[in-house]
Structure 1
Amino acid sequence: SEEIHRAFDLEQGPLIRTRLIRVSADEHVCLLTQHHIVSDGWSIGVLIHELNQLYRAFSAGQGDPLAPLAIQYPDYAHWQRQWLSGERLAAQAAYWKQQLADVPVLLELPTDRVRPIRQSFAGASVPVRLDPALSTSLKHLSQQHGVTLFMTLLAAWSSVLSRLSGQDDLVIGSPSANRQHPQIESLIGFFVNTLALRIDMSGTPTVIELLERVRRTVLDAQVHQDLPFEQVVEIVQPPRQMGHPPIFQVMLVWQNNEIGDLALPGLQVAPLDLAWDSVKYDIELQLGERDGCIEGALSYATALFDEATVQRHRDYLLATLRAMVADAQQAVPRIPMLGDAERMLLLETWNRTEAAYPQDHCIHQLFEAQAQRSPDALAIIYGEERLSYAELN
């Protein structure tokens, strides 16, 4: 925990730290901490692949088995500055300026606590797992309608967020690997860019219609994914507040890069599970596919939400996904999201109207109003009827 929370010095470095903790003679914990500025999610897979090769070679007394890098990150940075200029830069900037014009300042999700004036990054998470049957059905639904699995999940997540917030214009952030060129696929570095996906939930779109809307939005954003998100914010100039990030406050992360496992000769290696205790946005949905199941986590800002609330949000998402695969012709805003227990709680337990008739209390009010002869007497509520002053007499 100390290692994870120890800050980096971006001016002096190092930006990668390693610590080996000896637990016993034959048990160790190896910690590798990297600042995000030098490494992204894709980089972890590259790192593990190279570490496997290096460890095998060195344990066998061999030399470095890795081929020299054809290009390095500074080469990419130089190319990016040259390529993203002139007409290309203008076209990218024009797209995002138009796409995010008059974007809502905040996604008004119902929270358990008032949003703090300054954003808190304390977080927690709840697991999300789609069983094999639902995962397979979602793949079939995506194939039938010419969309990716990510687009289908984004459509369902957009529906849940729209119904929770009551807004039909919402923006969801999503990272893009941004490694379009084969030469940079084997590099460790920060290439990822964040796309602001503006989803139109207006009207009563069917599942098929919403999938098509999401498809167009995602494809257009990917065509214009080269402009760094920081520059997008500068171009859009949204109102800035210390209590939440600009443009969007909710993320959807689809992990489709193969990280792989450490396979080191003579060692039994297992990952160390650590509690999730930080989050950059109000809610971050992170999903990927593993062993035929879609699974991940729903992370949330603990300053805003209770765990029980986020668990309900997760259940709404699962209910929406099941409904989408059951009937793609149905209107998305009419998909039932509530489970049986919550439906009974809202519609019956909290909505019971039977009560003892408060006769004595009402009579007392009538006598008081008569005695005071005030204008208030004209507005006495008797059950659900308004009685005039003459009727009171």
Structure 2
Amino acid sequence: AALSDLCREEAHTPFDLSRGPLMRARLIRLADEEHVFLLTQQHIVSDGWSMGVLMRELNSLYRAFVAGQDDPLPPLAIQYPDYAAWQRQWLSGERLQTQAQYWRNALSGAPARLALPTDRPRPAQQSFAGAGVPVVIDAALTRGLKRLASQHGTTVFMTVLAAWAAVLSRLSGQDDVVIGVPSANRGRREIEELIGFFVNTLALRVDLSGAPSLAQLLERTRRTALAAQEHQDLPFEQVVEIVKPPRALDHTPLFQVMLAWQNNTVGSLDLPGL
């Protein structure tokens, strides 16, 4: 019971963004040979990809230190502030204009909201309360999706995105659907091993007008996804400022539905003696 209270207290203790630190570690000893290690990070310094880096490095460091060896990790070529300075310099001038113009054109006239048939009115202000409903795609259906994607020159992600757009179109009666997609935004080799917040959000607008065939919908979705990835460097909040969609407290701007494709493996701790 005491451990449960400590875990709850740790998870709910806020971070001071103006002072830091933005990561906390806590070791709780239950007995001579039994401990619980809590590691809490503010999301602003660590994204999903970072968790895989963290797990690999914890494994390497623990194994080395248990064996009395030195730090085995190679020195980082760059740090997060280097990336932030580079991004600010790189995303300027003509590059900034090109990216801004793409999103202005891509999202011009997009519907402000997805009109899903809900069983109660949307609250005047979002509460962010939610729940989960697990749906499992079995092995046979997965093989079918991979085969379909291969036949049409798409990835499985694009295929699932097209299907999700079709479902949302049927439910809403809209043939113009915008879906948010998180992007790892780690397009350069130098930043793959950094722990930090690189992730961005892309607003993908899928055109379902004219009752397209499956092949046509997959091709439209493929073009949309590739174009968005080519222009993924512009932060989402800047895209919102550029597009200037209608704003209200009861829904998020540009999209209210997301598809998070999480195919990066976080891994697990494999520590000798534990």
The normalised TM-score by structure 1 is 0.66
Select which of 133, 144, 147 maps to 2:151: 144
User: Equivalences for 1:129-278 in 2 at 5 Å?
Assistant: 129-267=136-274
One-letter amino acid of the counterpart of residue 192, structure 2: E
Once the two structures are overlaid, the 10-residue window that deviates more, 79-88 or 23-32, is 23-32
Deviation string, structure 1 residues 19-41 (Cα, Å, up to 9, x no partner): 23334444333222211211111
Report Cα offsets for 1:186-232 as digits up to 9, x if no partner: 00001111100001111211111111010000001011111111100
**How many residue pairs are counted as aligned between the two chains?**
267
The answer to whether structure 1 residue 29 and structure 2 residue 14 are counterparts is no
> Equivalents in 2 of 1:116, 1:21: separation in Å?
42
Which amino acid in structure 1 is aligned with residue 98 of structure 2? Answer: A
- Change over 3 Å in CA distance of 1:127–1:223 after alignment to 2: same
Which whole-Å CA distance do the structure 2 matches of 1:232 and 1:10 have between them? Answer: 25
Cα displacement string for residues 1-47 of structure 1 (whole angstroms, at most 9, x for unaligned residues): 33333322211122112223334444333222211211111100000
* C-alpha separation in 2, matches of 1:114 and 1:6: 33
Letter in structure 2 aligned against 1:167: Q
Pairwise CA distance, 1:63: 1.3
Is 2:73 the counterpart of 1:66? Answer: yes
Alpha-carbon separation, structure 1, partners of 2:120 and 2:37: 39
Structure 2: any 5+ residue segments left out of the alignment?
1-7
Deviations 1:345-390 (A, max 9, x none): xxxxxxxxxxxxxxxxxxxxxxxxxxxxxxxxxxxxxxxxxxxxxx
CA distance 1:62–1:163, change in 2 (3 Å): same
Take 2:32 and 2:224, find their aligned partners in 1: how far apart are those partners?
A: 55
One-letter amino acid of the counterpart of residue 102, structure 1: G
Amino acid corresponding to residue 249 of structure 1 in structure 2: Q
Q: Show the 5 A alignment for 1:1-393.
A: 1-267=8-274
Tell me the amino acid that sits aligned with residue 193 of structure 1. Answer: N
Q: Tell me which moved more, 3-12 or 258-267.
A: 3-12
One-letter amino acid of the counterpart of residue 194, structure 2: L
Q: Is the alpha carbon distance of 1:172 and 1:219 closer, same or farther for their aligned partners in structure 2, counting shifts above 3 Å?
A: same
Distance in 2 (alpha carbons) for counterparts of 1:213 and 1:23: 57
**Are residues 2 and 245 of structure 1, via their aligned partners in 2, closer, same or farther at CA, if it must alter by over 3 Å?**
farther
Q: Which amino acid aligns with 2:109?
A: D
The 1:72/1:160 distance shift into structure 2, 3 A limit, reads same
Q: Tell me: higher relative CO, structure 1 or 2? Use CA pairs within 8 A at least 6 residues apart.
A: 2
1:43 counterpart SS class: helix
Paired with 2:159 and 2:209, the residues of 1 have a C-alpha distance of 18
1:28 partner amino acid: H
Q: Which one has the largest radius of gyration? A: 1
Mind listing any 5+ residue stretches in structure 1 that lack a counterpart? Answer: 268-393
